[in-house]
């Protein structure tokens, strides 16, 4: 991942933080529907049988934005998925370049959840995870020797969002050398802390053989285990001890991995 891409991700986070600041949100869960209504965006529930998660459109005749989302009363997807989808569509509304495209008549059905490789969708996902998890909610989670699956699951529960969104947000904000990896047949998305990116651990090319994540994808049980930066980042100059935790995300074939590495002064 290039420096410009990393800077762009920080810019996207700043857009979401500005929205939270404007609404004076520091408690969770964040009411994303209220944010939409305050912006005079028309929320339109759709039937769960319809093949889309969310969509936002600008109608020139009424000069209004319409945000289509699944009904939280349905049984196909959960409330946290609906909330993330609304937050994702708000990303398209608040990110200036996205909003400009919408007002020019461009619209498409979104695929939120960090699984889509379209750049606009990735940016809206980063916006959504930041909007749903204010900085105040990260207190006690992202300090030194704090980050773990247990803390992330607790964060997701408190913020009423997905474990993936919580781990991406916590990893990027962490004071540790932390990396989150979402994978299926290959790496779909990776998020790293400033400390990790400074060491060149910003992107993972492949899931290494012998890792717990590879075992999960092979249909095997996999406990948390010791790892090393050289195993995951063979092209860097560092070989730092670390820890790998991984879980399968239901029957989706997706795996969520958390990597934590020792401080650089502990390098072999």
Domain boundaries, the chain: 3-132, 135-266
What are 94-153's pLDDT values in tens digits? 999 999 999 998 887 777 677 676 888 999 999 999 999 999 999 989 888 889 999 999
Give pTM, 2 decimals.
0.90
pLDDT at position 241, please? 96
The Cα–Cα gap between 218 and 232 comes to: 18
The Cα–Cα gap between 69 and 48 comes to: 9
Q: What 3-state DSSP class applies to 156?
A: helix
Partner residues linked to 181 by β-bridges: 190, 257
CATH number assigned to the domain covering 135-266: 3.30.450
Q: DSSP H helical segments within the chain, as ranges? A: 3-23, 32-38, 79-94, 96-103, 119-132, 149-159, 163-173, 194-198, 212-217, 229-232
pLDDT at 216 over 80: yes
pLDDT at 267 over 50: no
What are 248-258's pLDDT values in tens digits? 998 889 999 99
The yes-or-no answer to whether 3-132 and 135-266 have a common fold is no
Question: Are the CB atoms for 45 and 52 separated by under 8 Å?
Answer: no
Q: CATH number for the 3-132 domain, one of 1.10.10.2910, 3.30.530.20, 3.30.499.10, 3.40.640.10? A: 1.10.10.2910
The Cα–Cα gap between 221 and 236 comes to: 29
pLDDT-derived band at 268 (thresholds 50, 70, 90) equals: very low
pLDDT at 174 over 60: yes
Cis peptide before 7 (omega within 30 of 0): no
């Amino acid at each position: 991942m290039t420096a410009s891409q990393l800077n762009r991700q920080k810019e996207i986070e700043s857009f979401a933080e500005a929205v939270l600041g404007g609404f004076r949100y520091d408690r969770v869960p964040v009411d994303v529907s209220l944010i939409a209504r305050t912006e005079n965006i028309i929320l339109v529930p759709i039937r769960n049988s319809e093949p889309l998660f969310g969509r936002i459109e600008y109608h020139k005749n009424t000069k209004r934005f319409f945000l289509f989302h699944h009904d939280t009363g349905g049984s196909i997807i959960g409330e946290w998925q609906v909330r993330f989808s609304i937050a994702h569509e708000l990303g398209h509304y608040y990110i200036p370049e996205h909003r400009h495209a919408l007002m020019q008549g461009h619209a498409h059905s979104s695929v939120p959840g960090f699984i889509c490789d379209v750049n606009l969708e990735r940016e809206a996902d980063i916006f959504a995870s930041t909007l749903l998890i204010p900085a105040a909610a990260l207190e006690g989670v992202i300090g030194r020797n704090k980050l773990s699956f247990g803390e992330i699951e607790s964060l997701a529960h408190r913020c009423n969002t997905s474990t993936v969104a919580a781990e991406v947000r916590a990893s990027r904000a962490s004071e540790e050398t932390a990396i989150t990896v979402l994978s299926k047949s290959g790496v779909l998305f990776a998020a790293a802390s400033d400390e990790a990116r400074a060491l060149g651990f910003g992107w993972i090319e492949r899931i290494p053989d012998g890792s717990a994540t590879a075992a999960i994808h092979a249909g095997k049980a996999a406990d948390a285990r010791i790892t090393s930066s050289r195993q995951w980042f063979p092209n860097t100059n560092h070989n730092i001890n670390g820890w790998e935790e991984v879980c399968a995300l239901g029957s989706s074939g997706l795996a969520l991995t958390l990597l934590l590495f020792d401080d650089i002064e502990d390098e072999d």
